[in-house]
Amino acid sequence: MSTILPTLRQLRFLVCLADQGSFSRAAEAAFVTQPTLSAGIKELESALGAILVERGARGATLTPAGEAAVERARVVLTEAEDLVHATRAAGEPLSGAFRLGVIPTIAPFLLPKILPALRMQFPKLELFLREDLTHRLLDAVKERRLDVALIALPYEDAGVETMSLMEDEFLFAAHPDHPLARHDKLKTSMLANEPLLLLEDGHCLRDHALSICAATPGGPSAEVSRSDFAATSLHTLVQMVKSGLGATLLPRLAIDAGLTDHLGLAVRPFDPPVAGRAIGLAWRKGSARAEEARQLAEAIKRALSA
């Protein structure tokens, strides 16, 4: 007697139902009618020989068997997607949908420079962008919800591979009346007693700034940040500096992209230059799109050097 296997369509219906929590929202997410989705779930339950969903007035709740099935269904669906991507890449790399994550301290400054170049080089590439913090982006990469992520390096994670694209140094920024603004170049030791405004916890740029300060001989300690103020974005941070609330360290990438233009801030380099971070591309180890990720990284490097 042959076993009736579930279809990918039925598995997709189940995952949509798990994600949405109701048949109506799941049907909308799956682009089908509610009766079609309900019938597909019943067919799946019949094929698997188990009740997967408890139907109630408040929505749909997965049974223990349903939760186990959803976990495996996600794996099957992503493996099927990998099959499609790998086959397509063998014939025409970097075509079709490609999901790219970018951290907030990179996205507004790097994307305007590289996206036009990528569109010209890969006209059939459809980039879907997501901006988020590093740890959430890498979780999405490992869970196959993103193909690659533009992040700041170094970042240790056994589940991903990375390729460095460029180095990004730190510059000092302050109100023109700040005592250090009269210098053309600074030594890191000049910041020894200077509390800095930084991004809030969770942003890797904050961690990189603190690690640089702590590792620089004669420089400030890791307790240099002001605890009474914290910004959620670099745009907010420079407005705080403009208001005279304090000084900060900014990545050259953002300054070169115009972050401090027309704000009247004093922006000074360090001598020797302070290496702030590297910017790189990360993808899941073993990904079927690993070679495409490497090709994308090389294309971004060419766009940055143009």
Domain locations in the chain as residue ranges: 8-86, 96-157+285-305, 167-277
Rounded distance between C-alpha atoms, residue 75 and residue 303, angstroms: 35
Instruction: Say what the pLDDT of residue 220 is.
Output: 45
| Confidence band, pLDDT 50/70/90 cuts, at residue 50 | very high
Same fold, 8-86 and 167-277: no
pLDDT at residue 154 is higher than 60: yes
pTM recorded for the entire structure:
0.71
Mean pLDDT of the residues in the chain: 86
Percent of the chain residues topping a pLDDT of 70:
88
| Confidence band, pLDDT 50/70/90 cuts, at residue 85 | low
Rounded distance between C-alpha atoms, residue 70 and residue 249, angstroms: 46
What percent of the chain is helix, strand and coil (3-state, nearest 5)? 45, 20, 35
Q: pLDDT (tens digit, 9 = 90+) per residue, 23-43?
A: 999 999 888 999 999 999 999
Q: pLDDT (tens digit, 9 = 90+) per residue, 259-268?
A: 999 999 999 9
The number of angstroms, rounded, from the C-alpha of 206 to the middle of its chain's C-alpha atoms is: 16
Looking at residues 230-234, what average pLDDT do you find?
A: 82
Instruction: Please state, in angstroms and as integers, the Cα–Cα distance from residue 182 to each residue in 53, 157, 177, 178, following that order.
Output: 69, 42, 8, 8
Architecture of the domain made up of 96-157+285-305: 3-Layer(aba) Sandwich (3.40)
CATH class of 167-277: alpha beta
pLDDT at residue 219 is higher than 70: no
Instruction: Say what the pLDDT of residue 210 is.
Output: 66
Q: pLDDT (tens digit, 9 = 90+) per residue, 121-137?
A: 999 899 999 999 999 99
Q: What is the CATH number of domain 8-86?
A: 1.10.10.10
The number of angstroms, rounded, from the C-alpha of 52 to the middle of its chain's C-alpha atoms is: 33
Looking at residues 281-296, what average pLDDT do you find?
A: 91
